[in-house]
Chains A and B, each alone.
Chain A
């Protein structure tokens, strides 16, 4: 029972990070029909930029309060990622907007490799220790179930960011313009929406969420390196598909569900396979889910039926 509860807690934490990243995938897909496979690399750039900022701050102002340092690191990582998202759209994807779907997809994969390689050149191939500025001393709200302050922070910050995004999309002029562009960008333009600006904005917002997610990931595991975005990127993509790609609520639900399945699965995989597989095989669950969803419900948990989209 304690194992189950513990794994649910872990699943919620990692799931809320997946959800943040999945939102970036789903927003871009919703508006352009493009799977931006380089989105995971934005997470990595966010984490490494934050790391660089932290190292710098520790050098010039060692007495600064740790939380303030972390806040500054996030506030540096976000605009860096936003600029990166903007440039990706402007330089790589915009020209391909009316090209056959395969072209931007392959470009996205190429962009992913490019960013990884650039990061490797800048930050090297080594694993870096990411300073854990929020305490990682486990608390025991329920006997036998541990949760660390950094994990609590991750869940709360993700929830706030997601609530903010929902308000932005449903209640503001930019959100309306985004939804209008997602439904039909030609008509949106004819109704006065600068669709190029709105598409750029979508990339920029997705990148900002990825930056936050990157810092969370690195803070939780205490590690950052140039390839760290790849696996969370794939998982978040799976989460977006699971929830119904193009659907914001779906990305959030998909992220949480995926996190839970993965954590609970990892907790029991050893027992289930009589010790044949251990918890380092937890990645299996995400991709088994991806397979199952694509076979039985390709539109995802909250996705509309395909026939409605024609």
Chain B
């Protein structure tokens, strides 16, 4: 197995609140890795630290053998990590196509001069970006809405569009923050097919999810966070039987208030 991402003792505090404490985990190339835990366990904070939105107080991330820059989100994207958001964060005034094209930004190079002169390289790059964006919309199944202003898309389509926009940055690791939140059973099963397809096409997936059925059916390995600490990490079948996990979710004596 080839290590893709390694978190080494990552910690993050907000004032007196410890959101993450000494979290270490390893994600291998080609797997779907689940990150679960009760509300407030630190899952989204983990995403934010990973993607450079927050600067960690302790620890570091190693991706493909090199340390990730902290606090510079666009450089993390350049390294090959893309994400979606728990509450959808599309560019609402732009069309679906433009959103995906914006997601491709880091892989294109045209500068002011190239754009003003519209030289061959710039035009070719723009043509490829457009082409690739259409392909991605088709890939997630919403190509018929390419020219719709995306705030007018349905909720499920917006979630798909976020995935397409993230894939546009050509990531090696796709981090999905509760992609099934607010979806009905049909949409969730379609999403499952999509995530499997993404993995099949060579992108490693890190998945935060509340839908236990989805996580257990999809993930190769699962880590469980509780109060900012990793309390378990294993294949889903084992994690499901882990006592610490059960008590974290159902509220065992350890966490009595």
**Interface residues in chain A, defined as those with a beta carbon under 8 Å from any beta carbon in chain B:** 168, 171-174, 176-177, 179-180, 183-184, 186-195, 201
Contacts and interface: CB of A to CB of B under 8 A. Distances in A.
B92 interface: yes
Interface string B36-70: 00000000000000011100000000000000000
Given A174-B110, A190-B51, A191-B102, A180 B94 contact: yes
Q: Which 10 A-B pairs have the closest CB atoms?
A: A192-B106, A192-B77, A189-B73, A187-B89, A190-B73, A180-B102, A183-B91, A176-B102, A194-B74, A172-B115
A193 to B, nearest CB: 5
12 contacts: A172-B122, A174-B111, A176-B94, A176-B98, A179-B93, A179-B94, A180-B102, A187-B89, A190-B53, A191-B82, A191-B105, A191-B166
A173 B53 CA distance: 23
Contact of B74 (A172, A173, A174, A193): A193
B93 to A, nearest CB: 6
A172 B126 contact: yes
B87 to A, nearest CB: 11
A189 to B, nearest CB: 4
Majority SS at the chain A contact face: helix
B173 to A, nearest CB: 14
A173 B129 contact: yes
Contacts, number: 83
Interface in B89-145: 89, 91-94, 98, 101-103, 105-108, 110-112, 115, 122, 125-126, 129
Interface residues of B, number: 34
A248 to B, nearest CB: 12
Contacts of B105: 173, 176-177, 180, 191-193
A187 B110 CA distance: 21
A166 to B, nearest CB: 13
Contacts of B78: 192
B169 A192 contact: yes
B12 interface: no
Interface centre among A168, A191, A201 (most CB of B within 10 A): A191
Contacts of A192: 73-74, 77-78, 82, 103, 105-107, 169
A177 B99 CA distance: 10
B103 A174 contact: no
B117 to A, nearest CB: 12
A173 B93 CA distance: 16
Contact of A201 (B77, B89, B112): B112
Contacts of B98: 176, 179
A183 B77 contact: no
Given A180-B94, A191-B169, A174 B129 contact: no
